[in-house]
Structure 1
Amino acid sequence: MSDVEGEQPSSSQLADPYQVYFARQPMLDRDGMLCAYETLPRVVLGEVEGEVDPRASAGAALLKAFATPTLRAALSGHPAWLDMTREALFDDALLRLPADRVVFELPVGIGADPELIARLVTLHGKRYRFALDNVTKADESFAKLLPYVDAIKIDTQDIAPALLPKFASVLKSAGKLLVALKVETAQAHDHAHALGFDRFQGYYFAKHQGGLRRASAPRQALLNLLQLLAAEPTVMQLEAELKLNPVLVMHLMRLANSGSYALGRKVTTLREAINATGTNRIARWTQLLLYADGRKVKLEDDPLLQLAATRARFMELATAILPEAGPSEEDAAFLVGVFSFVDAVFGGSLDEALEVLRLPKPIRAAISRREGVLGRLLDVIEALERGDWAAVDMASAALAPLDAGAIAALALTAAEWAGMADSSAEAQGLERIED
């Protein structure tokens, strides 16, 4: 409180009653590359002490939270598609968001009154872009909004199969970007792809694709390297094994030159990279590279690798907070997260894929049967990936002191970590080794 009687509290002393959490879902382009994230907010009214900021509102809180450095870092350089409310749309705070890094999603039922249309025209003039979310029919409101939006998001299961091709064709002819929602299988992806859809949202890419993918770093070479790392190799042994895997060398050089591990000068030899990075980090990125795409794309553009890396790091961060987790869980947490997608690499059942890696029984039990604290953490991060806040609440009830807000914050921190490894400038020297 102020020492001066009658002085009004500053805005920094006034409480904001709203709390905002974010989940994020990947959006892929027609080539299967990560091209954007939808940010799924949850705005809740919390209990506050003292005076409430009169400017506080759910819309203002949403925009303030969206502009935080943590969320920006979690996007790994990709544009964000933000679920909007009408209130937030009319808040001039959104003008502080860079127009080229965000797409505002207009929900069903937002209306198409003259006031809203005028606001869209104003923002469109400032180069902001809009998407209509979850469109199921071409009604009057849709027709009024269509000229002012750049993208249409469609759940292809919600439109009659006989009508969908014509609907998609008309929207494509109008120059609209088409986004297919809830794409959970390769068949659903292929169908939407054939209809001309431009973006795909769903987790079909995290499932086995019939052996047509994941060949960038030869799988057996990675498994051999993991076995060697488990035996505490010398630098010479590790150097010799790494030279058999040029793709891993390329990413290792980039990792060694990134801000997290850099020595203060450019690392140009493989031995320097090993010493700068350390065997534990090499082991982690070797595990993650099992998921790498066959086209040698940047790690931050590979959707499955980013998903696995984020989940693994989340597991590690969350386990360190839980009082019931002992040393064995802390040691296993990263492995549980990273190998929870292993069936996407090896095919077959999840149990069969886990058997290939000869993982310890507690790790397999957590992944396949969701046993123990690590199994519960897998449940909660899966719910968050879906943006299912009710399921997050239910799962977090058994993970005290973690609640939905803490879980969402840890996931963003994990996403930032996952996106950092390949974000530095091109490394020199041995990254040029190719097959």
Structure 2
Amino acid sequence: MATRLRRSGIGAAPSPCTTADAMSSTPAQDTPVAASPAPEPVDENLAIIARQAIVNENREVYGYELFDRSTASDSRTAASDAALLFNALSYAGAEILVGKKTVFINCTHDSLSGAHLELIHPDKVVLEVPPLPYSTTPEDIQARIPTLHALRERGFRLAFDQQVLRRAYTQWLPLASFIKLDMQAIKPEFAGPLVQFTTQHSQATPIAEKVETAAQYELMRSLGVKLYQGYWFASPSLVKASTIRPTQAAIIELINLVRRQASTGAIENLLKKDPTLSFNLLRFINSSGFGLSCEITSFRHAVMILGLQRLFRWAALLMTTSRAGGAPPAVGQTAVVRGRLMELLAAELLPPEEVDNAFVVGVFSLLDTMLGVPMDKALDSVALPKSVVDALLHGSGIFAPFLALTMACESGDEVSFARSANALQLSNRQVNWAHLQALTWAEGLSAG
């Protein structure tokens, strides 16, 4: 047998990230946490989000309010609001976190003007708008109305607390889709008048929040309130989702391509060379928050669907939630080599429309290593064609022999290599040449 290229191992795998079990949508099955948990230092590869159910009078889940638990800081800014929404709908996996339910997100007034909201389908999200400080002048309250109007025009629903029932907020009231009534701040004798005022002077649905006793629930139910939130129904529960965050250098490169209005092909090439970028893009664009009716499984299609403006905003958000490091370089490099080698081999034997999927199989074949979770869990969070999943998860289907040969090229196992090459009727020369091209291509990408 001719001497063939040998690829060294991928090096030390990253430390596994802790991942909580996916939680049931039934509030009673949520794992309770403290009312005001003190954030602990966390793995920076974890997106940690607390959710609390909002239920109807039959205790069926209507939606979830989300809270960021990934950082040690209690302060909220426009950037942290954007990061929470971004993580909730991409990193954490919206299907695990909220399923098909409505998402309630607390916002600062600064974040209400944020470009990140243009990435989200308005039907999926309720924006919780805080009252302004008591010292705020009527002019300042009035000045917020154009922003709130614009959000409503775009299809977002807005939720306010009972402060919006004050005279100073009269012009905000028609914009409310929900008004939250705080049961810890309202005396029982005032509950009836507040509910009556809410229903008579707005189109908003009242939500009784911070419900902690049966008496509070029965009182609000007798007044016709249909939605509830509080410890009497469900404590906040945590979702911990492992993430793979691209390096900031990779994101900057993407941003620079977009700012130069590079071609779709050039951007696709960047996504091909960085598995973490492409993984995050596919997972985000297929999240329920993006609102597409079909799954996007190719990099080129994802770029075309987003367009340059939204791709820029997505990359900018990704930058704010990423770290300086990223996955160990050897892992990403090996994934890129695998993708390119499978692409080259498939080009010889498969129809052109299958060649892109062959690349995806190779480049995502190390997702389990990158995420530190079993491959089936890794694949749960990104939409891929069945043929790709079959190869990655079951070692079956049209791409399985190509993946087996690609992995044999790394292993140094001559018997495995010969068996895999013969199964595809490829000569040592063909495989060696393709492997050399793949290595050269990947090295050139990393150097560029």
Normalising by structure 2, we get a TM-score of: 0.38
TM-score by length of 1: 0.39
Higher relative contact order at CA 8 Å, sep ≥6: structure 1 or structure 2? 2
Rg larger for: 2
